[in-house]
Chains A and B, each alone.
Chain A
Amino acid sequence: DVKVTQSSRYLVKRTGEKVFLECVQDMDHENMFWYRQDPGLGLRLIYFSYDVKMKEKGDIPEGYSVSREKKERFSLILESASTNQTSMYLCASIVAGVTGELFFGEGSRLTVL
């Protein structure tokens, strides 16, 4: 069974803290994504990666960075968390090309106080 695993389901952090969200997929997918989801705004793409050590900015990259050192792992980093980064973060992966099926993890609910 295909799986995308996000390391933390719920996190509470303080303003200014560094936050790591990790995502691992077991499907040997080339492409991985980080989205955030907020009520009324839908899903918005933060960053994506199409290969190891490669990354591309999405629609809202400000305040975030990413790391992809291994094919199966894609990390989202908040260098200095702020309250407006309180959100649901969703990781997803898909095989390279245009015909594949996108798979999501269970989500990480981050609250920044």
Chain B
Amino acid sequence: KQEVTQIPAALSVPEGENLVLNCSFTDSAIYNLQWFRQDPGKGLTSLLLIQSSQREQTSGRLNASLDKSSGRSTLYIAASQPGDSATYLCAVPGGGQGNLIFGKGTKLSVKP
């Protein structure tokens, strides 16, 4: 059964720092991996979708990489800003019909 783990559960950094969020999964036979952002009391916003044939995807200051063989993905955030403060979740397909298996997220706090 696929399991997704995100460590650390919480992270606090000063503004301007570059940072990496980690995501690991137990079954490497995945079609893709998706990163989401969630602000308090809100739904999840899709940030990046990496297909299994890709090694990385970039959107602005965000870069996500995928290493299927090692069961890992990282989300790199460059020059962090207070507005980046949120919970970041990763998810991979599991259970069929487009359902995703989610990690529990990393809560990021960027201090001014």
What is the interface of chain A, defined by CB distance below 8 A to chain B? 4, 6, 31, 33, 40, 42-43, 45, 48, 50, 56, 58, 88, 90, 92, 94-107, 109
The answer to whether B99 touches A45 (Cβ under 8 A) is: yes
Q: B91 at the A/B interface (Cβ < 8 Å)?
A: yes
The answer to whether A50 touches B46 (Cβ under 8 A) is: no
The answer to whether A48 touches B99 (Cβ under 8 A) is: yes
The answer to whether A90 touches B46 (Cβ under 8 A) is: no
Q: B59 at the A/B interface (Cβ < 8 Å)?
A: no
The answer to whether A107 touches B97 (Cβ under 8 A) is: no
Q: How large is the interface on B (under 10, 10 to 19, 20 to 34, 35 or more residues)?
A: 20 to 34
The answer to whether A97 touches B43 (Cβ under 8 A) is: no
Q: B93 at the A/B interface (Cβ < 8 Å)?
A: yes
Which residues 50-102 of B have a CB within 8 angstroms of A?
51, 89, 91, 93, 95, 97-100, 102
The answer to whether A102 touches B43 (Cβ under 8 A) is: no
- A101-B34, A101-B49, A102-B34 known; A50-B97 Cβ under 8 A: yes
Q: B112 at the A/B interface (Cβ < 8 Å)?
A: no
Q: Which of B34, B45, B98, B105 contacts A42 (CB 8 A)?
A: B105
21 of the cross-chain contacts (CB-CB < 8 Å) are A31-B98, A33-B99, A40-B104, A43-B102, A45-B95, A48-B97, A48-B98, A58-B99, A90-B43, A90-B44, A92-B44, A96-B98, A98-B32, A99-B31, A101-B34, A101-B46, A102-B34, A102-B98, A104-B44, A106-B43, A107-B42
